[in-house]
Structure 1
């Protein structure tokens, strides 16, 4: 099993790359997002991989980050999602966008990917909502931006700054204030009082998705 390749990018195509590792060129299939994230030919790179073995062929799939590789494994495990569709989803959406879409049950967001219709998108949300990886995160700057867009006086003054930011972000995403506050309260119970806004948002979204 080849889990990672480290070498020089030899060439790139629309959905593949060749990476030279000590004189051996490995052909690796990849999403458009991965190809864009990797350096141009002639430069050093590290590619995280999954090997697919069948009776007739061996294929290497490459990812720019371990998070993308983990998401591929999750997506490919859903009925109706093969390697091509899983890579299409990773081309259309970042791991953070996938996390948010599935946590919120936003099937429409998943249909951005080629080959993903409404029925398959709903199945992905349903099957993966309770299997979101711990790498699910909302960047701190995103949480702050969402909170800043929310109306003033949205949350109780007694709430911590982190809780206020989390509740404000959820309201800005479309959740009613009472529902957002309840979800964040549950998240605080799970994560503890010292959790930052990004973690509270992540846990609250998971709770809302499974409610």
Structure 2
């Protein structure tokens, strides 16, 4: 049995799907994809479809590759289900970026449902303030990741142009783009767009400061 939700990024983020199996009153749920908008609803539908005699629900999160703050609501849905049904639950196997999100939210990635953020004891105001700051930083980081996903095609194209033009490696091409971005105080995706447009010829000329930044970046990174 499986449930799924689609993303708003035209397929650039992975659809969340949840495979489930039940044996002897224990349900094993295996989410795969990204914990973004709609993921909590997907989990709620999956939980609602479990047999009434389910007394344990274990989530294997190793297949989750990306998570924004919506993923915290995903955990709230699971926690609420456990409390209402008197069911034991767990969500283990967090890796990479999702694990970092949990840490920044003040949760124990090895046991997020029973860590500091889900306990029912009063939390000191200083801890609440620090946790709020962490979540603000987290939202900024997640937005940067979203932008990276959305702009990756033009960045990859620009790297290809530089590799073909200067016979350099993918890492060297990336360093050129990053260096030019820093030198000109220009967003990376704009630098990449200029490099890509220049390869086709006939495109608008970039500002002088960006042309100079690209020249200096190539000299520094490739010579």
TM-score in terms of structure 1 length:
0.28
Structure in which a larger fraction of residues adopt helix: 2
TM-score in terms of structure 2 length:
0.27
